[in-house]
Structure 1
Amino acid sequence: MSSLQVKDKQFQINGEPLQIISGAIHYFRVVPEYWADRLLKLKACGFNTVETYIPWNLHEPKENEIYFEGLADVERFVRLAGELGLHVIVRPSPYICAEWEFGGLPAWLLQYDGLRLRCMDETYLAKVDRYYDELIPRLTPLLSTNGGPILALQIENEYGSYGTDKNYLAFLRDGLKRRGVDVLLFTSDGPEDGMLQGGTLPDTLATVNFGSRPEEAFAKFREYRPDEPLVCMEFWNGWFDHWLKKHHTRAADDVANVFERMLTAGASVNFYMFHGGTNFGFYNGANFNVKYEATITSYDYDSPLSECGDETEKFRAVRRVIAKHLGKDEGEFPPMPAPIAKTRYGRVEMKETADLLDQLSLLSEPVQRVCPEPMERLGQSYGFIVYSTQVSGPRTGEKLHIQQVHDRAQVFLNGVYQGTVERWAPAPIEVNIPAEGARLDIVVENMGRINYGHMLKDFKGITDGVRLNNQFQFDWTIYPLPLESTAPVRFEPVPEARERSDRPAFYRGELTVTEPAGDTFIRLDGWSKGVVWLNGFNLGRYWEQGPQRTLYVPAPLLRSGRNEIVVLELHHAEQPVIELTDSPDLG
């Protein structure tokens, strides 16, 4: 039995000093078959601790449906880390940010009218309490005070960047203690006055998050906490990417220099990220500064370990710094696991197709509403939603306005594509309605809820209304399309003569694996925008706009023999062919 203690501005465990050298690995961004590989590589780099968030929306995707299996088996991940000789830091805050959908909050919270997030709102707190009643008892046996590897837990995440409700922070802290958490508790915030004032509690360890200028950051921290250990809980050694932007990189020697200065100052450091992994499925988040920007599928983060777990130059630079600081030879660190094979499977022809709009009755149970309603009002969290109505005619040169579309809408009149309205650059579409009127279909993609800042409450779909000029249109049939499964889709052979229609369509192909599978990467050159499933597993989104040009396919997702690949293409593909290659391309 042991616990992390603070003495003389330093951490101690079992009476011995401990400088925490930690790396973030999110179990939910790595297939479970690779957890050991990534953790062993963390040890091989010289780290003594792993840190992970716990996303509420992964574990309770639908209200009262708790899930802790497979990719969500956080207990197994923590136990495995302990068995491999690593300490663990857990951040189970209701909100995690992490460039994760809605910052980890479940979308079903938004169905409660008037609910306020991350404060002493009774409805919100009741939901947190019920979730913690399920989650925390799973963690308490894994605490270091009970013989487990968990040294510390976070109360809330960067709360000073959002609010000032100290009663809320105390509520979360006391709730952890009441449920048996007796290890060190902490907060983490940016090293700024307002953030440290709003996000900390006087009797709880505070830590700071930053990527550079550690002397300035720790000097500001010391103004508030002169007697506590120096801890950088998030050392941003890389950065995440948005669609329509360039891939972020940071020089390895710059990272090594900042890291060495922190270690020399006696600080404990957690690399955010050590290994980023992948935003599988519809779980990528988004940001809103000047405009909405969605995070890409890859969460490579330019980390010491790449998205597919490969050692990088940054890995080697960081290992040299740790070895020097500890007075060791790098050869004294545990050995690296054998590299994971990469396989070039080549081209796969998508031989079958199915038009999305023609499949609505198979994929959705429609609902009638006077006005367009956002997903959350219909009990939907992720995916797509289709709004249909009949508009009168004739109308010539009228402007179709979609008010507050979240996030990207494709418009069709009598099945013919009219244009796309995007949240970050909204503009009306000119339409002509024949005398007999026309069916209007609007296909809206939820590209990921905002995960940080004041725009956190982010409804999806059409969140206000649809107008022709100034006239609102009423009487809608709405088709929720969470696309949790593509099994209901009825495919037909791809026609020999294909015309570009910009109508969303599914494509299906087959990959046969005859030998032990290796990791691979799907290229969709000539495709526009959409989603890919492999054997029913949602690999994530692609978009020709980049920066990401490939989707990572971990080998454990492949089967010996036949593998089904389904692509939902929202616009068009030059040729219904994809390629499985042996190297990633993040642009």
Structure 2
Amino acid sequence: MTKKICAIFLMLLFIVPLSVQAQQHSFEIKNGDFVSDGKPVRVLSGEMHYPRIPHQYWRHRMQMLKAMGLNAVATYVFWNIHEPEPGEWDFEGDKNLAEYIRIAGEEGLMVILRPGPYVCAEWEFGGYPWWLQNVEGLELRRDNEQFLKYTQLYIDRLYQEVGDLQITKGGPIIMVQAENEFGSYVSQRKDIPLEEHRRYNAKIVQQLKDAGFDAPMFTSDGSWLFEGGSVPGALPTANGESNIDNLKKVVDEYNGGEGPYMVAEFYSGWLAHWLEPHPQVSATSTARQTEKYLQNNVSFNYYMAHGGTNFGFTSGANNDKTHGIQPDLTSYDYDAPVSEAGWVTPKFDSIRNVIQQYVDYPLPDAPEAMPVIEIAAIELDKIAILDTENLPKVQSDKPLTFEQLNQGYGYVLYRKHFNQPISGTLEVKGLRDYALVYADGEKAGELNRYFNNYTMDIDIPFNSTLEIFVENMGRINYGTEIVRNTKGIISPVTINDMVIEGGWEMIQFPMDKAPDFEEMNKNCVYDNTETVALSLIGRPALYKASFNLSETGDTFLDMEDWGKGIVFINGKNIGRYWSLGPQQTLYIPGCWLNEGENEIIIFEQQHDKPHSSVNTTKIPVLTTLKKLSTTE
């Protein structure tokens, strides 16, 4: 090696580290402020969740947040999508959290990471993997050895993915949240000593630190719940707190008498359930509260800035004293400033107009919306009934839960043959959550946990079969019932108060992928003529069609004329529909469509009338609620 080459090589050794070092940033909580690169900063953040957005659109949505005036994005981490089975991890595609964070950094956004392990978020089981319920001796969300063993495994694996993306390592992650709204849970679980609650919460903080998370930590609770939710060494932030004086008072009380002050969930919209009116939050009130925070040096995180979609079976549920379950919509539009499809809204404009008056950086223009198309009526040329003939069947003396069947989501058909006729009152008190009931192959009625409707009259003829087709409508994601979240039929079935035991048969339809018509029994697949469709009325049915596109774009599938079910587009489950509303359309991202041939499969559970086609529209319908009855 010549002296000249040696000299260049030595220069590079010095120059490269200096270049890397020049890109390093710092973020800390100091002297009552958030301090970025040595200067006080307000965190103006928007919540946006990676699996609710196709990864092809992540950068577009980040640019929307920047255009609204935000300097940060916050996201929960959803344990259950990353570990669908014990020890099997998935961080690919729409689950590639590290890539999501890197894109945020490239777009000039700081990142607030909210890893839970509990997240709520109107997400299935609050983010917990369903299979945790099968672990012997495990008790969720408390100081329990088995539970904490699995949370540590999750947190350690998460660190492998994103640990190097913390601000302390040169990445965009500025803060990490420990647990989530734990003070609320403490207030509801008074059967557990406060000391144990605090031990558990502190152990989650320690697990995060032991894994290597060293960015500033915070907790997130209602301001009146800090006693149960705050943890020493983590900044307490107040969800939904609009009273500035109260915000500062309670944060000072639990944070050594100084700020900074942050509202980690500033509700620019609100969650929506099936069968209930879609809540609306005005653009004016959101803008006024934004200005109030900015005038008083309060940082905030809009929940949500952009909601996105609960694709597949990811939507969760609530419950209250009236309803056994309140399943969340497929749409997670949330009445957010950026719509479900990534559009500018009046609320977006109102927020942008306020923020640009209080920041010293120019706001970029919003990127153009994704193209929107309307597809001509799609003719459904194939129809099929669910084939049970060649599917494996599980035999048991009593109905087994989804979890006992090692199934997380979808549907299970429970079947019981009777040699003698029986009639009277059928009661399925352990229904979780919705069922179609058949006697001797004929539809006898529906049961629905939403209405606490667990009984119906039944007449089962001689030598015939009772069938109960059960749907999991999403595990509860908030409150004390989260620890009682098994699905299917979870207690004995009775007729006239007599327990029906022995000879139960279970057939599983997890619908984790689109049904393959070609592999189904040929006797169950038909050309979709009116005569055939009418002959299949009352039984769950599958419709299929192929359609061609010369151009792709976002669109909305109009399901108002249908009953209840799910839809697959090119193999992707785009979510649940239910004509009772308020959601009547399903969002189809254009990036999931092909120029050329496409395939749609509709699984229609109720199938009260035949269908020959399905339409799309350019405008979503999310607020049309139909008249309800307790028999729906």
Given the two structures, how large is their TM-score scaled by the length of structure 1?
Answer: 0.95
Per the alignment, residue 484 of structure 1 pairs with 512
Task: Write out aligned runs for 1:63-82 (5 A).
Answer: 63-82=86-105
- Cα deviation for residue 494 of structure 1 reads 1.3
Does structure 2 conserve the Cα–Cα contact (< 8 Å) formed by 1:505 and 1:568? yes
Alignment partner of 1:505 is 2:532: no
Alignment partner of 1:84 is 2:107: yes
Q: 2:475 aligns with which of 444, 449, 461?
A: 449
Q: Which secondary structure state, in structure 2, belongs to the residue aligned with residue 567 of structure 1? A: strand
Count of residues paired in the alignment: 576
Indicate the RMSD between aligned Cα atoms, in angstroms.
Answer: 1.5
Deviation string for 1:534-570 (max 9, x for gaps)? 0110000000100001000010000111111000001
Moved more, 537-546 or 223-232: 223-232
Paired AA for residue 563 in structure 1: N
Distance 2:610 2:527 in 1: 17
Per the alignment, residue 215 of structure 2 pairs with 183
Per the alignment, residue 371 of structure 1 pairs with 398
Distance 2:380 2:571 in 1: 16
- Cα deviation for residue 354 of structure 1 reads 0.9
Paired AA for residue 206 in structure 2: D
Distance 2:400 2:226 in 1: 39
Per the alignment, residue 306 of structure 1 pairs with 339
Task: Write out aligned runs for 1:25-174 (5 A).
Answer: 25-163=48-186, 164=194, 165-174=197-206
Per the alignment, residue 333 of structure 1 pairs with 363
Alignment partner of 1:531 is 2:566: yes
Q: 1:495 aligns with which of 529, 538, 544?
A: 529
Per the alignment, residue 227 of structure 1 pairs with 258
- Cα deviation for residue 85 of structure 1 reads 0.9
Does structure 2 conserve the Cα–Cα contact (< 8 Å) formed by 1:153 and 1:186? yes
Q: Which secondary structure state, in structure 2, belongs to the residue aligned with residue 269 of structure 1? A: strand
User: Percent identity at matched positions?
Assistant: 38
Change (3 A) 1:211 1:229: closer
Alignment partner of 1:296 is 2:329: yes
Distance 1:338 1:410 in 2: 45
Q: 2:577 aligns with which of 535, 542, 548?
A: 542
Moved more, 5-14 or 571-580: 571-580
Paired AA for residue 320 in structure 1: N
- Cα deviation for residue 139 of structure 1 reads 1.2
Q: 1:254 aligns with which of 266, 270, 285?
A: 285
Moved more, 21-30 or 200-209: 200-209
Distance 2:249 2:404 in 1: 47
Paired AA for residue 74 in structure 1: L
Q: Which secondary structure state, in structure 2, belongs to the residue aligned with residue 533 of structure 1? A: strand
Does structure 2 conserve the Cα–Cα contact (< 8 Å) formed by 1:392 and 1:433? no
Deviation string for 1:190-243 (max 9, x for gaps)? 111xx2111111222111111644544444434433313111001011001100
Distance 2:34 2:263 in 1: 14
Deviation string for 1:18-71 (max 9, x for gaps)? 100000110110000000000011111111001001100010111111000001
Deviation string for 1:358-381 (max 9, x for gaps)? x1345x532111111110111111
Does structure 1 conserve the Cα–Cα contact (< 8 Å) formed by 2:247 and 2:261? no
Moved more, 158-167 or 219-228: 219-228
Deviation string for 1:160-189 (max 9, x for gaps)? 111341222222212222222111011111
Per the alignment, residue 457 of structure 2 pairs with 430
Distance 1:96 1:239 in 2: 16
Q: Unaligned 5+ residue runs, structure 1?
A: none
Q: Unaligned 5+ residue runs, structure 2?
A: 1-23, 187-193, 624-632
Q: Which secondary structure state, in structure 2, belongs to the residue aligned with residue 525 of structure 1? A: coil
Paired AA for residue 488 in structure 1: D
Change (3 A) 1:361 1:209: farther
Per the alignment, residue 437 of structure 2 pairs with 411
Bigger Rg over Cα: 2
Distance 1:117 1:413 in 2: 39
Paired AA for residue 9 in structure 1: G
Does structure 1 conserve the Cα–Cα contact (< 8 Å) formed by 2:429 and 2:455? no
